[in-house]
Amino acid sequence: MNIPRSITETVYDEIISLGGNCEIAHHLRESGVYLVKGVFDWLVTPIASVVEIVRNEAKELGETIIAANDGTSAKCKKYSALLHHEFPRAENNELIISNNYINNCISKLLHKYNTLHSSLQSNSIKLLVRYGLETDLNWDGLIGKDTAQKAEQVIELYKLLSEKYDNAIFKLVILIHEDSNEINKAINNENIFVHTIPKNPDAGWAISGSDWKIFISQFRFSFSESYTKLDETLHWSGES
């Protein structure tokens, strides 16, 4: 199923990641369109987590942290989001979680949320892109759910964004590797599209650079891609 012309023929001023992991932010950076560095870029976030973070305006995000994945990741208890990149690591690859680093993490996440919030409040036309309906987190409530339940949560996210940012103009595209026909029928909204993209057979990123370029080339943007390329010497999480 092709992406509807109502989405591809819109001219976008910004393209923004809504998670659910680092995949989208990585490809935005690599393709030179990483203009809005938001809070979901480098977190692993179930759709339900995105909904609650937006609804609560990131209040208490990162305040209560517990170790996860044998200490190599951290979990925000309030929002069930996984953090891989917000803390320094010891030689054994475990995160160093201290009060000082937690405070730094809170400050950084709030700054990124405010960046996202300001963008969504603006009158620019935005393409919102998310990787995956469900994440690989074992506490993700969408794992094992049927198409109708997954569609319901996508619609809840879109409705929340539409109501909270009622002057915003945006389209939402979610990338998955499975067939998307049934989920699109269930969502039935011209401003939302779940797009099937090939799974990268090689190790590393789930979407290959070439398949991302094919995907992104279907859209129209008001800005030039070339000047947004980030120097590789910058912090890899995209912080300037």
Relative to beta strand 65-68, strand 73-76 is antiparallel
Residue 117 belongs to domain spanning = 5-228
* Range 184-206 average pLDDT: 95
156-183: per-residue pLDDT in tens? Answer: 999 999 999 999 999 999 999 999 999 9
Task: Tell me if 240 is assigned to some domain.
Answer: no
Whether residue 228 has pLDDT greater than 60:
no
Task: Tell me if 21 is assigned to some domain.
Answer: yes
Task: Tell me if 234 is assigned to some domain.
Answer: no
* Range 186-213 average pLDDT: 95
User: How high is the pLDDT of residue 131?
Assistant: 98
Which residues have C-beta within 8 Å of that of residue 232, sequence separation ≥ 6? none
Task: Tell me if 23 is assigned to some domain.
Answer: yes
Task: Tell me if 235 is assigned to some domain.
Answer: no
Whether residue 231 has pLDDT greater than 70:
no
User: How high is the pLDDT of residue 224?
Assistant: 65
82-141: per-residue pLDDT in tens? Answer: 999 999 999 999 999 999 999 999 999 999 999 999 999 999 999 999 999 999 999 999
* Number of residues written out for the chain: 240
Task: Tell me if 86 is assigned to some domain.
Answer: yes
Domains held by the chain: number: 1
Task: Tell me if 218 is assigned to some domain.
Answer: yes
For residue 154, the number of C-alpha atoms closer than 13 Å in the C-beta half-sphere is 31
Q: Which residues of 36-47 are buried (b: 16+ CB within 10 A; e: fewer)?
A: bbbbbbbbbbbb
Relative to beta strand 43-44, strand 14-17 is unpaired
Relative to beta strand 43-44, strand 73-76 is unpaired
Distances (CA, A) of 87 to 75, 76, 149: 12, 13, 34
Is residue 41 within 8 A of residue 130, CB to CB? The reply is no
